[in-house]
Structure 1
Amino acid sequence: MEFTCAAQPGTGADDEADLVVTGSHFALVLGGAEEGCRHLGRWRTRALGGRLADELVRRPDAPLTALLDAALAGVREFHHRQLCLGGAPGAPSSVAVVRERDGLLDLLVRGGAAALVQFPDVTVNAVLAPADGGAPGGPAPEAAVGSLPVKDLSRVCLLGGGAHRMAEPYEAYWPYLFDRFATDGPGAVLTATPYRGAAAALGTPRP
């Protein structure tokens, strides 16, 4: 898939900045950070984003839940080696991942993020995680996962927690949201968010 993306911290909240990472066959959006040690939410989000992207590149066929758990474990191990005694690092409060694999699109969503899938008839289905916050520094909370053939969809949009809260009240207009993202780019849409951090990625199948 081809991805366009944007992220912004929100007014006065750069330590809560959301993060978007894309690769040749994946995109991920991380948002916020649960309370944990003294490290800023920005550090924890970037640390997990880098490790999760590495897992997606090195293990392209592994289940997304296994990759997320491995990335979280890697962040905790690194954190422990730094001798931070202020508690376990809090995990980002929202995670959304899509990965293209053998003609399929794999999705994972946890926390307050969302994955919106648009089909050729313009209908939009939302993939949302169960309401389970999990414990700071613990295993990844329950996530929604699924797969569908790439040929059956027209576009997919990942929304971090802030972007999802901005879009959620306008569910009936989600097809219009896809058009705005495609025409103006995610950044133009996210500038209107009042929340502490917002990130989004739009994926379109390659011709």
Structure 2
Amino acid sequence: MSSGTAEPVRAVGRAPLMRVRSASAPAPGRDVNEDVVFRLGPLVGVLDGATVPAGFDTGCVHGPEWYVRHLAARIGLAEAARPAASLMSNLAAAILAVRADHGGRCDLDHPGTPSSTVCLLREGGDQVDYLVLCDSPLVLDAGGRVTVVADDRLDVAMAELRRTAALLPAGAADGATRFRQAVTVQREWMNQTHGYWVAAADPDAAYHAVAGSVPLRGPGALRRALLLSDGASSAVEEFGLVDWAGLLDVVTMEGPGALIDRVRAAERDLPDRLRRHKRSDDASVMLCEFDPGDSGA
């Protein structure tokens, strides 16, 4: 059973109460969880560090676990210092600060430098601000409608990579060679205009995130929000266990840990030939629920 936490958080001002429940678990058989979930006052977030395949260099003495924990801490410090700044601006400041945390010991221009997806939600006043960078989606229940905020540029890049690989002559490379080629190309596309964007060593990536806001009052008010790493969103995107609205309901009624348990069961049952890339993945779920504000506001 996955562990979870529940804690109420109230932002400064007139915003409705935000109740937060979360769970995060490493992939089965692994001691290290390269996901992070955090709550810092009115700000919540899910980060998913990019696992380094065996045999690949990163130019860095630190790993994904170090990176996501430092990035979460630096996001919190940036928010505390500039609570009125945009999430993009504070994420950029956090990425820049983590560059300094490396202490000059790492090649931060290396294409394999540690990186992380980012999914943030910040309660304040009459609205909630959000930011999504790379493949950690945000599910919103607002105005009686469920929508998904997603950054699909990594998926687009990987689909193009698979199309390119399919054009290679049969027998041109064995499976291990093809995998190495794929990882190399993916790294080359990271934080490039025609590739995809992720938090790594370039603070400019923050300004390529998908960002916006949702009202907390009136007919379109936000009622629930679900922040996910891709190890948890696979319940919809890979396994088809439920749709996005059903995913929200499962987490609301059964808790974040129950969703991770469902994903683990699906991972065990799925034949290897149908898997996208990993047998299993770290999984993180954060549910935010909001009391109704003044519907006439």
Instruction: Place the TM-score, normalised by the shorter chain, in its bin.
Output: 0.7 to 0.9
1:23 shift after superposition: 2.6
> Sequence identity, in percent?
29
1:155-194 matches, within 5 Å, as 155-169=224-238, 170=240, 173-191=243-261, 192-193=263-264, 194=267
1:1-207 matches, within 5 Å, as 1-33=18-50, 36=58, 37-79=60-102, 81=103, 83-85=104-106, 87-88=107-108, 89-92=113-116, 94-121=117-144, 123-131=145-153, 133-134=190-191, 136-139=200-203, 140=205, 142-151=208-217, 152-169=221-238, 170=240, 173-191=243-261, 192-193=263-264, 194=267, 195-206=280-291
Q: Tell me if structure 2 keeps the 8 A contact 1:106–1:148.
A: yes
What secondary structure is seen at the aligned counterpart in 2 of 1:154?
A: strand
1:34 shift after superposition: 6.5
More strand by share: 1
What secondary structure is seen at the aligned counterpart in 2 of 1:51?
A: helix
Residues 134, 34 of structure 1: alpha-carbon distance in 2 compared, 3 angstrom cutoff: farther
> Which 5+ residue runs of structure 1 have no aligned equivalent?
none
> Which 5+ residue runs of structure 2 have no aligned equivalent?
1-17, 53-57, 155-189, 193-199, 268-279, 293-297
Residues 12, 171 of structure 1: alpha-carbon distance in 2 compared, 3 angstrom cutoff: closer
1:10-29 superposed Cα distances (whole Å, 9 cap, x missing partner) = 12344452110013312100
Q: Tell me if structure 1 keeps the 8 A contact 2:43–2:122.
A: yes
Q: Tell me if structure 2 keeps the 8 A contact 1:110–1:130.
A: no
After the TM superposition, which of the residue ranges 139-148 and 45-54 deviates more from structure 2?
139-148
TM-score when scaled to structure 2? Answer: 0.62
Counterpart code for 1:203? C
Q: Tell me if structure 2 keeps the 8 A contact 1:31–1:95.
A: yes
- Output the CA distance in 2 between the equivalents of 1:95 and 1:58: 20
Counterpart code for 2:191? G
What secondary structure is seen at the aligned counterpart in 2 of 1:62?
A: coil
Q: Tell me if structure 2 keeps the 8 A contact 1:21–1:53.
A: no
TM-score when scaled to structure 1? Answer: 0.87
1:183 shift after superposition: 1.8
- Output the CA distance in 1 between the equivalents of 2:153 and 2:39: 26
Instruction: Give the count of matched residue pairs.
Output: 202
Runs of 4 or more, structure 1, over 3 Å off, are 12-16, 169-172
1:29-50 superposed Cα distances (whole Å, 9 cap, x missing partner) = 0002375313121111111011
